[in-house]
Amino acid sequence: MIAVHARITGRVQGVGYRAWTVDTARKLGVTGWVRNRLDGSVEAVFQGGEDRLLKMQEKCWDGPLLARVKDIQTKSVGVDESLRGFEARSTL
């Protein structure tokens, strides 16, 4: 299992991006979390097998219908064994 931290920018707030991310991650069997940031971006941690994470990152470029993703920056992070499932977190 591997984990990545992602920062997604563009028109990603007010368009259902967090709910879409939760639904998509659960369908792909990815664990982690997603939240809005006060700067207008969306932040997420994705954990799972490499193939699943690559698929999740590809899907993040599309997002929900009204989203317009400008950039996705990712970096590897340590796996958090305490994470179970995938959840939306409060804005930070």
Displacement of CA 46 from its chain's centroid (Å):
6
* Contact by Cβ (8 Å): 74, 6: yes
Show which residues are catalytic: 18, 36
Buried b / exposed e over 35-69, threshold 16 CB at 10 Å, is: bbeeeebbbbbbbbeeebbebbbeebeebeeebeb
